[in-house]
Amino acid sequence: MRPFLTAAWRNLLMINFEADPAVLKAYLPAHTELDTWNNIHYVSLVGFLFQDTRVKGFPFPGHRTFEEVNLRFYVRYKEDGSWKRGVVFVKELVPKALITFVANTIYKEKYATHTMAHSWEYPDNNTLSVSYRWKVANDWNHLSATALQARHAILPGSEAEFITEHYWGYTRLDHQTTGEYQVTHPQWEIHPVTGFDYHCSTRALYGAAFENILQQAPKSTLLAAGSDIAVMPGKKIRHNTL
């Protein structure tokens, strides 16, 4: 099957919080259930860069390299007796209105367009500094971290594996129908994070229900190096196979 979209995702900065499952259930697509690691429900603020983006093999001038910041949580869906581990996006922010239109129209996602910027810096031979910024009204939000340039493989069974190893996206289309699509990529390596900071206009972006979640101390911060990815054409799930 030919991918709908191909790109490289680079320097994925993930700040991870424990979530109240009652909040997440309001966004849960039909036929999926909340997934946990060590009995913890997670939400993640994720910032990263798209590079060399192509839709059905074709690049669009001015839309090949851009930032994205999203808020996501983790679910699973049982098909033919096997579990698929996936993510649900509460909202995805990008700086290009055309990307928002395509994603919301084709995949029924919840994209929004904001002024955005990023920086990657190398203060010395050992350190990497990554920052993603987005503007909400007149307020600049940000995710930023410092990390070691040296990177290592993700340990099996770790929290990092749970956060990064999700290859399916699920979208709530209505109370009976869910959209499903696959994202393919190799397992990512991670840079050990040595410090981080963030500021998010939570109520304006995600509503009051997420304020307590995103105001608490994060459970962890991860910086994945990223890789080439492919987003496959989606399908609709209309019957419960759980």
pLDDT recorded at residue 62? 61
Q: How far is CA 172 from CA 101, 152, 180, in A?
A: 17, 35, 9
**Domain, as residue range, for 46:** 5-237
Q: What is the pLDDT of residues 112-152, one digit of tens each?
A: 999 999 999 999 999 999 999 999 999 999 999 999 999 99
Residue 242 belongs to some domain of the structure: no
**Which segments within 149-219 are labelled E, that is strand?**
152-153, 168-172, 178-184, 189-191, 193-199
The 10s digit of each residue's pLDDT in 16-28 is 999 999 999 999 9
- The domain total for the chain is 1
Q: pLDDT at residue 54 above 70?
A: yes
Is 130 a member of any domain? yes
Which amino acid, residue 107?
Y
Q: Is residue 89 part of a domain?
A: yes
C-alpha 17, offset from chain centre = 13
Residue 78: pLDDT band (50, 70, 90) is: very high
Q: Is residue 194 part of a domain?
A: yes
Single pTM value for the model:
0.93
What number is the average pLDDT over the span 29-58? Answer: 92
Closest by CA to 87, choosing from 112, 68, 70, is 70
In a domain, 63, yes or no: yes
3-state secondary structure of 11: strand
Q: Is the pLDDT of residue 106 over 80?
A: no
Q: Does residue 65 fall inside a structural domain? A: yes
> Residue 177 in contact with residue 30, Cβ under 8 Å?
yes
CATH number, position 180 = 2.40.400.10
Nearest to 20 by CA among 37, 40, 38: 40
In residues, how long is the chain? 242
CB atoms within 10 A of CB 188: 19
Give a yes or no: residue 218 inside a domain: yes
Q: Contact 66/103 with Cβ under 8 angstroms?
A: no
pLDDT for the residue numbered 97: 83
Q: Is residue 74 part of a domain?
A: yes
